[in-house]
Structure 1
Amino acid sequence: MTEDQKHQMDPGLTGGAAVPDDERRWAELADLVLIISREIQFRGYTDERAIPLSPSEGMVMRHLQNEPAAPPSRMAAATGLQRTNLSTVLRSLEQKGLVERRADPGDGRGVTVHTTELGRTNYALVRREWAAAVASAAGHDTANLDATLALLAATENGLTRSRPQNRARRPATRQ
């Protein structure tokens, strides 16, 4: 086996069989994204004002940054959370003072979820901490940052658009 063929082996992907280089590299990207996400979560926050969030709470808060007033049904669809799980997340975020529910002005039976000032402040604070941690870990090297951001944004959009709807699925887990 040549050295090039050895580099195309990925036992985690195919049990040791050779895989195309692009497939191996995409798998490596997915693995690194999961590892980086976990490392960011693991380190917590240095600023005592930061309110830690669960991954589901973080998804909801990220959604609310782009849509500051949203009905729960749209939030569930956008985040991929089941409505019952979203209700639990919203209760927790309300208890932390990060969101509030208000009667929908167009439909008195419905509600919309809004970020509070504390929610907006907390989100900005934790993003600054994430930025500092990631920049430091990367040695503040911005040479490929724009291309990386573009690739990751396109990947996120593609995964979100192709998300399975209303069918039983097993969540992916890291090995």
Structure 2
Amino acid sequence: MSRQPKRRVSSEQATEEQWAEFADLVLDIAREIQFRGYVSPEALSLSAPEGSVMRYLFRHPGALPSEVAFATGLQRSNLSALLRGLEEKGLIDRVADVDDRRSVRIHPTPRAISNYALVRQEWGSAVAAAAEDDPTVEASLPLLTKVAAGLVRLRQADSRP
């Protein structure tokens, strides 16, 4: 019976199992945040795709629909329906592109900006309470930022023709 050699891992390199556990925990945390809902009656709850689009627009106000679709991984046809819904909720404005009047740019509205600030405050309070205000959160932010950006980059590379 042959034994496969164990993969040697330095003390500075995470194992595949550790990364799998990391991913599981991130998914569990996201689910728990969504399950909580909001304390404030003013907070407007969004679906996961709506939230993804709005988070992108907060970082990239004035984006073209094609940019939003590519960045969020949504099909252009699905994005169109989603944008109509966000517009009906008063969360986005479509503004004609000054360089190309056939195109529109999408901007979050003041209502969207205040809603985002409110829900981020609630998310932050809930997560801080769950972690008992552990000060090591600051050390985790660069890794989480790198993982989020890297996953988007990998998805986009896979979707290019």
For the aligned pair, the TM-score class normalised by the smaller chain equals: 0.7 to 0.9
Q: What SS does the aligned partner of 1:100 have?
A: strand
SS at match of 2:46: coil
Structure 1 position 77, deviation (Å): 1.1
- The aligned residue for residue 28 of structure 2 is 35
1:54 — aligned with what? Answer: 47
Task: Give the unaligned 5+ runs of structure 2.
Answer: 1-5
Which amino acid is the alignment partner of residue 90 of structure 2? G
CA displacement, residues 70-108 of structure 1 (integer Å, 9 cap, x when unaligned)? 110111111111111111111111111000111111111
1:158 to 118, 140, 150: 150
Deviation at 1:166, TM superposition (A): 5.0
Answering whether residue 96 of structure 2 is matched by residue 95 of structure 1, we say no
In structure 1, the residue matched to 2:111 is: 118
Find the aligned partners of 1:105 and 1:31 in 2 and give their Cα distance: 44
Distance 1:126 1:42 in 2: 13
Does the residue aligned with 1:62 lie in a helix, a strand or coil?
A: helix
Residue correspondence of structure 1 range 6-17 to structure 2 within 5 A: none
| Mapped partners of 2:27, 2:40: distance in 1 | 24
For residues 48-87 of structure 1, the aligned pairs below 5 Å read 48-87=41-80
Distance in 1 of aligned mates of 2:52 and 2:16 = 28
Look up the equivalent residue of 1:86 and give its one-letter code. L
Q: Give the 3-state SS of the residue equivalent to 1:112 in structure 2.
A: strand
Report percent identity of matched pairs: 52
Q: Secondary structure at the match of 2:49?
A: helix
SS of 1:92 mapped into structure 2: helix
Aligned length: 149
| CA offset digits 1:91-147 (Å, max 9, x no partner) | 1111110001111111111111111100111111100000000000001111x2122
- SS for the counterpart of 2:146 is helix
Q: Tell me the secondary structure at the aligned position of residue 50 of structure 1.
A: coil
The CA distance in 2 between the partners of 1:27 and 1:117, in whole Å, is: 39
Partner of 1:7: none
* 1:138 counterpart residue number: 131
1:45 alignment partner in structure 2: 38
Structure 2 Cα separation of the partners of residues 89 and 157 of structure 1? 23
**More RCO (CA 8 Å, sep 6+):** 2
Report the Cα distance in structure 2 between the residues aligned to 1:41 and 1:89, rounded to whole angstroms.
Answer: 19
C-alpha RMSD of matched pairs (Å): 1.6
Letter in 2 for 1:82: Q
Instruction: Tell me which moved more, 21-30 or 36-45.
Output: 21-30
Stretches of structure 1 that go unaligned for 5 or more consecutive residues are: 1-17, 168-175
Return the alpha-carbon distance in structure 1 between the equivalents of residues 39 and 82 of structure 2. 24
